[in-house]
Structure 1
Amino acid sequence: MARKKTANTTSALEMESSVPPIVEINYVDPLFTVAAHPIKPIIMAGLGTGHLYCHSYNAESLEETVQNEREKAELKEKNSTKVSISSIKKKWWISMDSLDLESTGDFSTNWKTKRHKGSCRSVIFDILENSTGDFIYSVGTDHIIKRASTETGKVTAKTSVSNHYDGKDAITNMCLSSTHPFLLTGTENGHVLVFDSHELSSKKLKFKLPNIHEDSINKILPMPAISAYHYLTLGSTTLAHIDIRKGVITQSDDQADELLSMCYATDSINANKNDTVLVSHGEGIVTLWKNSNNGLADQISRVKVNKNASIDAIIPTMNEGVEDLKDSVWCGDSEGILHRVNYKKGRVVETRVHSSVMGKLGGMDEVGGLDIDYDYRLISSGMDGLKIWSGQLEKDQQGVLDDDDDLDSSVDDSDDIHSGSDSFFDNTGLEGEEEEEDAIIPNKDENDSEEVGFDASEGSEDEKSTPSTHSTPQIVRKKRTDITVVMKPKKRMIDINKITRSEQPLESGQEQQKKKQKKVKTLVPNNGIAKFDGL
């Protein structure tokens, strides 16, 4: 039986946006990692079985379908607009199982393959200027990094990393430089290994930085505005600034809390600065760091998001066209809730529900990953599946209220923060014995699959593998100019005294009783500091 929702979860649902997803894809096997193509409507999905899926979608058509179905639903039920997105019984957006996807349609599978033995832990797109999105890099618990063509899925290079660390270690995530052929990998034991992405098959290690953190490397972030050799790493309870040639430059104070993910603010990215960093914590908060302030030695402020959950993922909105979005980041927590945090206002301004099904420990599908697609749409993913959210916006009415208004304050109104669940999932150890590794399957007909080659000796087989007939449109990144704004109804202030005031005077006993009833608890500013009278 589902557990009763906590007070924080209920408060978050009260702030739920009316923006719906345009598509929802469910996977039979655990979904471990998702990456969005930087300039095309393509998504890569890595599973716990080692499989890799390449999906493409027609965003404009999906947006139109959702809008039409929503209008039909509102005509059938007059109060449908008052029902939250998460409580809708009949979904009017596309919801499909990954096994049912064809090679054509508004959301389709271009190809799929058994890429790794065990689980696929991380997949990322190439971001070099001359080859943006042309290649993908993936790594699994088999300790092998593979580079493949995005269009066909053919492996073009691979390397084993097991010789560069202890056999009990494993890679947790990867990061690419946008200016140099540097591929950085973080391991469970806190090491950082750097490879040459152009010479991956050479098996040579470019740089090795041991023991950057005491525990697993949770995130690596490049610092191109400073140098192609400078990066930020997150692990255990500290944030480190490293030079891959020399080692640690600075390391933060111990935060006494697990640091799970981080990102730059949107305005810092657009201004080509790496100054403002936002970090998500295991105890349900997001902290603000500034390199120009104290050299990233410690946080300078914090925003309370959900004290009953860990904030496992965080990403900037990347949309500079809207002021409120420019100052916001998206966060995903272990209760399956998405929060848009305006870090300049210091509060949560919007929520969405990734997992509307509640279990014993909260949302059945925790938010494990977030990404932004080529047109600034939010993509959320968990172990069960992924959602692509509509690009329309909802007017935030809380932005016009004072910061001292307790009714529209942050979800958490207490300074008592409890630890949430851990974000990283361990290796499942699943192996597909019946399916040949790296056999590309363009569609549901597995008889057409071909073995993918890795080197010159296997080059003849590389030529045999053919991609899906489904062609992906060449769409470039653009600014949104046609934005739909959903307005919330304005609130009218009512003077209760005028309504209840009687024309005839009350008797003395009744008047004394009325005064006693009007004594209520005084509201205090919701700034995270408890106020105690008489101390």
Structure 2
Amino acid sequence: MFQNICAIPLDHELFTQAIHPKEPIVSVGLASGHVQTYRLPPGASDDSDEDATLASENGFGHIETTWKTRRHKGSCRTLSFAIDGTQLYSAGTDGIVKAADVATGNVTAKIAVPLDPATGSIDAPSLIHALSPQTLLLATDSSALHIYDLRDLGPKASPKPQQTHHPHDDYVSSLTPLPATAASTSGFSKQWVTTGGTTLAVTDLRRGVMVRSEDQEEELLSSVMVTGLSRKGTSVGEKVLVGGGAGVLTLWERGVWDDQDARIIVDKSPGGGESLDALALLPEGIGPGGKIVAVGLGNGGIRFVKIGPNKVIADVSHDELEKEGVIGLDFDVTGRMISGGGKTVKVWQERGADADNEDEEDAAASAKRSHGSDSDEDSDEEMDESSEEEQQKQKRKKRKRRKGTQQRGHGILGFPGLN
């Protein structure tokens, strides 16, 4: 379904990536504390110059490093663009959230993350998400989920969270907003689904944690919302898909949150399936049609699952040599897939129909076989010891996760024609 048209090498291990909502821009957060922002070539346009349009459609062009800086002392754990794309929020193991101007990278505001009340030490962020122009969600390792009013941000202010919830007993591993209802006046989401440990939860902006699922006996790692599905029986045509630690994708009907209603085995490797670390819904008009979800695996593979038939229809590999897990998976405004893992970010372009048919045949055969300060002034030459420790901590956590699921039984930029 997709062919790789570019590989962006990174100096340090990738911890997080974010895709701009309106422009072909990707930002990455690294284990060294660096944040780097790249502008990709534009996608297909209405330009009358046929040669320029063809070059754009085939991935030709120049990648610009818009800016790079060492933003955090320690690892940069998570990134999120503002709804309008003007700000980039980053959070690191230094316990600081920073807002930066996307065009320049200059810091415009900071938030000091509340300390872990149990230990009195830094409560490292695990996830950050801009829910609306007014609301920022921040989750931490202690399982806290803080809600901030972005209108309180400023160059000298460090606002306190308006609310704090604990939807899970473990850190929040993923967050997916639920689409606004027809009754909404703002059009922005006021409820969201989170996964953490072995449970799924739904939280409301005003009412707090509304429901938490039964124990799924498998770590839940990633999630994505799929709308426009068939409305049969009691189905409302909207489901949240959740990736687990043992290679299983579960489907949850919106409004029925106590337990999953369907399961899709994405990976059935001997000794326990690979973890499903990242999920992304293919944009309309991309792929062979229908609702298709891209799934990033812990072994560096990417598989495509068609919802309805509930089967794997194709796969590609982000990392064939090192087998580093795919921790970032998104689509930019042009429909290109952006995958991240290890020390590489890759850009993928959709292939033709003939190649897609070959992918489906290969996937079917495979399924049968496997059934503090503005750290811009800090030195860029060395990575803090704390960052190295954080990398090892993340790797140990991943090994532990895989072991647990088994016991339960369950640079060179490669655009062709690069200027």
TM range (shorter): 0.7 to 0.9
Offset of 1:267 from its aligned partner? 3.4
The 2-side partners of 1:371 and 1:219 are apart by: 14
The 2-side partners of 1:22 and 1:277 are apart by: 30
Contact 1:347 1:410 in 2 (8 A): no
Residue aligning to 1:461: none
Residue aligning to 1:299: 260
1:438 to 376, 383, 397: 376
Residue aligning to 1:276: 239
Residue aligning to 1:484: none
Computed over aligned residues only, the root mean square deviation of the Cα atoms, in angstroms, reads 3.1
Contact 2:99 2:107 in 1 (8 A): yes
**Kindly tell me: are residues 326 and 154 of structure 1, through their superposed partners in 2, closer, same or farther at Cα, counting changes over 3 Å?**
farther
Q: Secondary structure at the match of 2:137?
A: strand
Do structure 1's residue 374 and structure 2's residue 333 form an aligned pair?
yes
The 2-side partners of 1:22 and 1:399 are apart by: 17
Point out where structure 2 has 5 or more consecutive residues left out of the alignment.
Answer: 44-51, 230-235, 381-419
Contact 2:228 2:237 in 1 (8 A): no
The 2-side partners of 1:412 and 1:171 are apart by: 40
Taking structure 2 as the reference length, the TM-score comes to 0.76
Query: What is the identity, as a one-letter code, of the residue corresponding to 2:376?
Result: D
Query: What is the identity, as a one-letter code, of the residue corresponding to 2:192?
Result: Y
1:144 to 79, 92, 96: 96
Query: What is the identity, as a one-letter code, of the residue corresponding to 1:213?
Result: H
**Kindly tell me: are residues 164 and 356 of structure 1, through their superposed partners in 2, closer, same or farther at Cα, counting changes over 3 Å?**
closer
2:321 to 342, 346, 357: 357
Deviations 1:138-165 (A, max 9, x none): 1000111111110011111111013475
Paired-residue identity, %: 33
**Kindly tell me: are residues 342 and 63 of structure 1, through their superposed partners in 2, closer, same or farther at Cα, counting changes over 3 Å?**
farther
Contact 1:154 1:440 in 2 (8 A): no
1:214 to 153, 169, 173: 169
Which runs of structure 2 are paired with 1:324-473 in the superposition (5 Å)?
324-358=288-322, 363=323, 365-395=324-354, 396-397=356-357, 410=367, 414=371, 437-439=375-377
Do structure 1's residue 187 and structure 2's residue 131 form an aligned pair?
no
The 2-side partners of 1:394 and 1:257 are apart by: 37
Contact 2:36 2:67 in 1 (8 A): yes
Residue aligning to 1:126: 82
The 2-side partners of 1:159 and 1:139 are apart by: 9
**Kindly tell me: are residues 259 and 407 of structure 1, through their superposed partners in 2, closer, same or farther at Cα, counting changes over 3 Å?**
closer
Do structure 1's residue 240 and structure 2's residue 201 form an aligned pair?
yes
Offset of 1:407 from its aligned partner? 5.9
Contact 2:95 2:122 in 1 (8 A): no
Residue aligning to 1:498: none
The 2-side partners of 1:189 and 1:394 are apart by: 47
Deviations 1:406-425 (A, max 9, x none): 965845765xxxxxxxxxxx
Q: Which has the higher strand share?
A: 2
Residue aligning to 1:43: 26
**Kindly tell me: are residues 24 and 440 of structure 1, through their superposed partners in 2, closer, same or farther at Cα, counting changes over 3 Å?**
farther
Which runs of structure 2 are paired with 1:69-218 in the superposition (5 Å)?
106-127=62-83, 132-163=84-115, 165=117, 166-167=120-121, 169-178=123-132, 180-200=133-153, 201-209=157-165, 211-218=166-173
Residue aligning to 1:53: 36
Contact 1:23 1:387 in 2 (8 A): yes
Q: Secondary structure at the match of 1:198?
A: helix
Contact 1:266 1:326 in 2 (8 A): no
The 1-side partners of 2:237 and 2:194 are apart by: 13
Q: Which has the higher helix share?
A: 1
Query: What is the identity, as a one-letter code, of the residue corresponding to 1:247?
Result: G
Q: Secondary structure at the match of 2:228?
A: helix
Query: What is the identity, as a one-letter code, of the residue corresponding to 2:135?
Result: F
The 1-side partners of 2:290 and 2:134 are apart by: 30
The 2-side partners of 1:407 and 1:155 are apart by: 49
Question: Which protein shows a greater Rg?
Answer: 1
Q: Secondary structure at the match of 1:278?
A: strand
Contact 1:62 1:106 in 2 (8 A): no
Residue aligning to 2:17: 34
The 2-side partners of 1:342 and 1:412 are apart by: 19
Query: What is the identity, as a one-letter code, of the residue corresponding to 2:33?
Result: G
The 2-side partners of 1:145 and 1:250 are apart by: 28
Q: Secondary structure at the match of 1:262?
A: strand
Deviations 1:19-59 (A, max 9, x none): 32121011121111111111111111111111111111214
Query: What is the identity, as a one-letter code, of the residue corresponding to 2:70?
Result: K
Q: Secondary structure at the match of 1:288?
A: strand
**Kindly tell me: are residues 214 and 134 of structure 1, through their superposed partners in 2, closer, same or farther at Cα, counting changes over 3 Å?**
same
Contact 1:317 1:326 in 2 (8 A): no
Which runs of structure 2 are paired with 1:250-269 in the superposition (5 Å)?
250-265=211-226, 267=228
Contact 2:14 2:344 in 1 (8 A): yes
**Kindly tell me: are residues 202 and 384 of structure 1, through their superposed partners in 2, closer, same or farther at Cα, counting changes over 3 Å?**
closer
Contact 1:59 1:106 in 2 (8 A): no
Offset of 1:327 from its aligned partner? 1.0
Offset of 1:354 from its aligned partner? 0.4
Query: What is the identity, as a one-letter code, of the residue corresponding to 1:151?
Result: A
**Kindly tell me: are residues 53 and 357 of structure 1, through their superposed partners in 2, closer, same or farther at Cα, counting changes over 3 Å?**
same
Contact 2:287 2:350 in 1 (8 A): no
Query: What is the identity, as a one-letter code, of the residue corresponding to 2:311?
Result: R
Taking structure 1 as the reference length, the TM-score comes to 0.60
Query: What is the identity, as a one-letter code, of the residue corresponding to 1:263?
Result: V
Residue aligning to 1:289: 252
Query: What is the identity, as a one-letter code, of the residue corresponding to 1:300?
Result: D
Query: What is the identity, as a one-letter code, of the residue corresponding to 1:219?
Result: S
**Kindly tell me: are residues 322 and 54 of structure 1, through their superposed partners in 2, closer, same or farther at Cα, counting changes over 3 Å?**
closer
Contact 1:267 1:326 in 2 (8 A): no
The 2-side partners of 1:27 and 1:63 are apart by: 29
Query: What is the identity, as a one-letter code, of the residue corresponding to 1:366?
Result: G
Offset of 1:168 from its aligned partner? 5.1
The 2-side partners of 1:373 and 1:114 are apart by: 25
